[in-house]
Structure 1
Amino acid sequence: MKGRREHLRHLPDDFSEMGVILSRVNKSFRGATREPVNTFQTVSSISDRELNSTGSDHSSIIAIQTKVCEPEKVLVPALPDTACVERGYVTPQQVYNLLSAEEGQPALYDPHYILILDCRSTQRYKQSHVVTAQASVTLIHPALGCLISCTELQKFSIILLYAEEGCSPVGSEKARAESPDLQRCFFKLSDLGMDPVIVLGGFSAFHALYPFLCTPRFLPIEPQRHSLTIYPSEILEGALYQGSVSQASDYHIIKNLHITHVVNATANCPDAFPNTLSYLGLRLSDNAQQDLVEALPLASRFIHAALRADPAGRVLVHCSLGRSRSSAITLAFLMEHRCWSLLHALSWLKERRACTAPNVNFLRQLLTYEEQLFGRRLTNLEDIQR
């Protein structure tokens, strides 16, 4: 196997191993002091506020002063759960993060980043398909075989297939009965030395979660791809997202993801929708002098309260580019409320947001935070530095 798909020779055995794909997305683009400081603002909240409500009175905002406290007890370390996914499949959530990946620029802007083949009927394809997908018959003809050369196929980092539904083991009699066109396409590509993966549950499962990433439009060339909306990464399914200030300022993104709470970790960017969403404003700088002693527990409590609310909220954590400051906040939450070591939390985050890159000052402070939470150091700095 040659070319840019070398790292996809082995399909992920479980949910966590999809990080092999996500963490190398960037290859597609190649051609502290502990003195407390006031790093936070007030929390703006509106009770029982629905994002899609257009007739509500958003004039009242309640300012809440939040007291920063030490952890009440020492936490017991836990390991992240891994979902059992049939070999050869990826989940709709993993596909969402593949479509949202960025490193320098959005991955989807690269026409050779991902090849998505819709293995349904032409009629169903024309009605709606995953963004940038092509009808499989245009590449894998039932009678003529593969209509694209191996050289061209090897240019793609990822080859993704989907039928209408399906989750049976690849190659099984049930899978061949459920989606014969997809199975034929899968094995034709495999015979050519490719490593295609299949969307678990098919188009139906993906569309149920992410209808805004489905379209009747065909976007074959790079200039058309630049019109696509790139979404924040989904860190916890249907709950916690991480992205950039531009994404946090896009009302369509906020509406489509049903965001209710936002952690703004920028130094001076204003809150985009203060009359509609609940905000925690942190004035953080991405440098070696920024102290996070107050910001980390404060943000963790804000996120936890939002996700535990009734009804449960959805939280977007953002900084300028969604790489360093926002990553530190997300990692602190995963450590405190999932009881994960910094090493496990960082691995989880990078599997879902490949451009994650907290600066070394933040990493050192997160190590101190880990020690405060668990009563001992669980992670070595050398193991988490890029």
Structure 2
Amino acid sequence: MRGRWEQLMHLPREFKEMGVVLSRMNNNCRVASREAASTIQTVNSTSDREVNSTDSDHSSIIPIQNKDVCEPEEILVPLLPEITHVERGYITPLQVYNLLNAEEGQPALYDPYYILVLDCRSAERYKDSHVVTARASVTVIHPELGCLISCIDLQKYSVILLYAEEGSSPVGSVKARADSPDLQRCFFQLSALGMDPVILLGGFTAFHTLYPFLCTSRMVLLEPERHTLTIYPSEILEGALYQGSAAQAENYRIIKNLHITHVVNATANSPDAFPNMLCYLRLPLSDDAQQDLVEALPLASRFIHQALKGVPAGRVLVHCSMGRSRSSALTLAFLMEHRHWSLLHALRWLKERRACTAPNINFLQQLLTYEELLFGSRLTSLDDIRR
């Protein structure tokens, strides 16, 4: 397998056989798509060559032919992911977004006992708008009556999340108690009952600023109501890179709310849903032991990179059928090449943000080879990533 990777650095490939296509769209994204297409079609080029395009708003398909795959110009130096310090007891808005949209077989939010969200603001603020599925805290932790839910029922929840209007002061500090006394009371009462609650960093204000589409004035508590909720793709890099399913890539509400501009479609059968609106890279891959990723990994990596570095910066959705195997392999290749992370660190990062990540063993082995190509040596073992 490694021999094939090395050959790509010297020999042109005929991508038409693989069916790789770059879809073009309207003027709103033409400049960014030209840059991505030009980079994908050129190896170590010092000039920017545009792909033929028209001023029409209709999508056209451009087969990539007789061009080398973009390979790293030099051996990369591995880096560690930067860890953002968060005060004890807090959880970031991005983490809450991914919790609310987590999928394990089916969307986790459909389970009434998956996450208990307690709004510790006033009743008026709660009625005005709150995080989806949230309850007013007084319905669970009453100022005088104590906990209104039995400890047995509380233990059924995987996550207990609290939030105030704002807040980032250390839990239990004088400032925290002054700024959000109801939240602090709930936190310590739940802790005394043996629970492990977490607090939304920045409160409702911070979350609503980033994810207004996950806030509502409706009470959504029961399982039938939860099944009506829109489940969004996982956010891998904040405000930049998302990974999800084909169904999510076809949902206009999701595309609009996340401000997606570019899509990597890694399916063999799902069409590009919005070719006149978005830039697409189509990689018709199969999720099996025979699928070769030699061309797909560097193509997807460069496409994502060019989209994110555009002016203005784009937002990319990478998807396959379920958003688990093929899309994960492509996302991992990007994180390895353009964040300079080993496969092990990239996989840990991805799984923290998308728990259902599960590239098949064939893809993992090819990613290990890609890691060796990028960094000049094998940094990760198969045993490391299968634990």
Determine if the TM-score, normalized by the shorter chain, exceeds 0.5: yes
Q: 1:176-187 residue pairs with structure 2 within 5 A? A: 176-187=177-188
Matching residue of 1:154 = 155
Question: Given the alignment of the two structures, is residue 252 of structure 1 paired with residue 253 of structure 2, yes or no?
Answer: yes
Give CA-to-partner distance per residue, 1:318-360, whole Å, 9 cap, x none: 0000000000000000000000000000000000000000000
Matching residue of 1:337 = 338
Give CA-to-partner distance per residue, 1:340-385, whole Å, 9 cap, x none: 0000000000000000000000000000000000000000001112
Aligned residues: CA RMSD: 1.8
Matching residue of 1:171 = 172
Secondary structure class of the residue paired with 2:28: coil
Q: 1:27-66 residue pairs with structure 2 within 5 A? A: 38-46=17-25, 48-49=27-28, 58-59=57-58, 61=60, 63=62, 65=64
Q: Look up the equivalent residue of 2:248 and give its one-letter code.
A: Q
Matching residue of 2:279 = 278
CA–CA distance in 1 between the matches of 2:26 and 2:229? 33
Q: Look up the equivalent residue of 1:115 and give its one-letter code.
A: L
Matching residue of 1:374 = 375
Structure 1 residue 98 displacement after superposition: 0.2
Unpaired segments ≥5 residues, structure 1: 1-31
Matching residue of 1:138 = 139
Secondary structure class of the residue paired with 1:49: helix
CA–CA distance in 1 between the matches of 2:240 and 2:3? 31
Secondary structure class of the residue paired with 1:365: helix
Q: 1:148-297 residue pairs with structure 2 within 5 A? A: 148-297=149-298
Matching residue of 2:386 = 385
Give CA-to-partner distance per residue, 1:34-72, whole Å, 9 cap, x none: 767743422123365169xxxx96225473736413321
Secondary structure class of the residue paired with 2:94: helix
Q: Look up the equivalent residue of 1:63 and give its one-letter code.
A: I
Matching residue of 1:22 = none
CA–CA distance in 1 between the matches of 2:315 and 2:297? 19
Give CA-to-partner distance per residue, 1:291-338, whole Å, 9 cap, x none: 000000000000000000000000000000000000000000000000
Provide the identity percentage.
Answer: 74
Q: Are the counterparts in 2 of residues 46 and 62 from structure 1 also a CA contact under 8 Å?
A: no
CA–CA distance in 2 between the matches of 1:174 and 1:143? 23
Q: Are the counterparts in 2 of residues 300 and 333 from structure 1 also a CA contact under 8 Å?
A: yes
Q: Are the counterparts in 2 of residues 265 and 319 from structure 1 also a CA contact under 8 Å?
A: yes
Matching residue of 1:310 = 311
Q: Are the counterparts in 1 of residues 266 and 320 from structure 2 also a CA contact under 8 Å?
A: yes
CA–CA distance in 1 between the matches of 2:161 and 2:250? 31
CA–CA distance in 1 between the matches of 2:189 and 2:27? 52
Structure 1 residue 206 displacement after superposition: 0.1
CA–CA distance in 2 between the matches of 1:216 and 1:34? 58
Structure 1 residue 143 displacement after superposition: 1.1
Q: Are the counterparts in 2 of residues 39 and 295 from structure 1 also a CA contact under 8 Å?
A: no
CA–CA distance in 2 between the matches of 1:50 and 1:41? 20
Between the two structures, name the one with larger relative contact order (CA 8 Å, sep ≥ 6): 1
CA–CA distance in 1 between the matches of 2:215 and 2:59? 37
CA–CA distance in 1 between the matches of 2:331 and 2:72? 17
Secondary structure class of the residue paired with 2:189: helix
CA–CA distance in 1 between the matches of 2:18 and 2:61? 20
CA–CA distance in 2 between the matches of 1:258 and 1:231? 12
Secondary structure class of the residue paired with 1:159: strand
Matching residue of 1:298 = 299
CA–CA distance in 2 between the matches of 1:48 and 1:245? 25
Give CA-to-partner distance per residue, 1:130-151, whole Å, 9 cap, x none: 0000000101111111111101
Q: Are the counterparts in 2 of residues 34 and 291 from structure 1 also a CA contact under 8 Å?
A: no
Larger radius of gyration, structure 1 or 2? 2
Give CA-to-partner distance per residue, 1:261-283, whole Å, 9 cap, x none: 00000012110101110000001
CA–CA distance in 2 between the matches of 1:33 and 1:342? 16
CA–CA distance in 1 between the matches of 2:373 and 2:96? 36
Unpaired segments ≥5 residues, structure 2: 5-12, 31-54
CA–CA distance in 2 between the matches of 1:193 and 1:126? 30
Q: Are the counterparts in 2 of residues 166 and 178 from structure 1 also a CA contact under 8 Å?
A: yes
Q: Are the counterparts in 2 of residues 34 and 293 from structure 1 also a CA contact under 8 Å?
A: no
